Structure 1
Amino acid sequence: MSAHVPLGSLAVQAPTLAPKTVHVSPATCHNLTLFKDLMKEYRRLDDTITMRLNRTNAQFRDRDRQGLGGGGNVEEQACAQIWRELVANWKRRTEIINYCVGVVDQSMDEKRRSLDTEGNDPPQQRQTQGALYAEDVKRNQVHNELAVEQIVRQRSLDAFRSRCKYFEPPSSEAEAREWWDSARAGR
């Protein structure tokens, strides 16, 4: 087998060469199936963290053997690469979740105001209350993603730290550094 042909699935070795741009709209947030599928896709890196660490280490060792290494410790380079990917992914997911939390919360507020202004129209009130209940379920699901995100992130950090014991994120990355410090403190 050629040294240039990577082993295993290319999808889990590295991000796709032509990443797909996903435009998140309020409709994405209101469609729980689509929203959860999007989160599942974004969490793929976290789900395969151990394999990705192994792969990245192997790739950097191969580059070093071929004289293409960037200098420095191969393991440190691999850890830094995975760290950059993790942080970028966490930022994107956090932005999407926070956006959808805002969209669903706003929709709930609008339904509550509508219920207050409907007056004495019982059929309309029942319909709005039903829609409000459905929005509340949706709101809880979207808000639950914040808790899921913390769990996924902690698990990824634990796996990362077990393999990259001496890695410290650059102090120039304030948000990433905050995540790192809170994970080390067990929060």
Structure 2
Amino acid sequence: MKIIATSRSLHGTGASRRMRNSGVTPAVVYGAADAATSIEIDHNSLFHALRKEGVRYSVLDLEIDGTVEQVLVRDVQVHPFKPMILHVDFQRVKADEAITFKVPLKFVGGETSPAVKIGGQRIKAAVFNVKITCLPKDLPNAVEVDVSKLEPSQAFKASQLALPAGVTLVLGKQKDITLAAAGK
């Protein structure tokens, strides 16, 4: 997906408020050993682009004044009750440098698992996203968790997760965490 932006020279609360009132969203691009760049993006096109599934978890093409860069969406600030994006942070990525990113888990096969069909239990997610490390080209939109073989009162651990090629799980101090569990 491609997002078109222009660089901006105005900064501060008042300038950002005036931009938002004119239908433009302030944003910033940082990372990859380059200086941070303040940009502005048309609000409506950005709003509809970010509503698409998987956009926040994929590498995007950001065109700034004719120059295209590879970026990830790092943070989106939204208005508390209006359908309005207040600010977006983008991080530049390089094709040959590994990135660490949180991606959502997509639970599949729960309705066919023995825990549900035979045991009459429900499968409850304990974690909804995981931190992974990979090259930008290998970044998945979501990590699939197949719980179809989960028996009654069992748990699905992170060590059982089938990750795509080139993707490694980052657990930190924890050795093996529970992703989902069957229970009443």
Instruction: Select the structure that is richer in strand.
Output: 2
TM-score (structure 2 length as normaliser): 0.22
Instruction: Select the structure that is richer in helix.
Output: 1
Whose Rg is larger?
A: 1
Structure ranking higher on relative contact order (CA contacts 8 Å, 6+ apart): 1
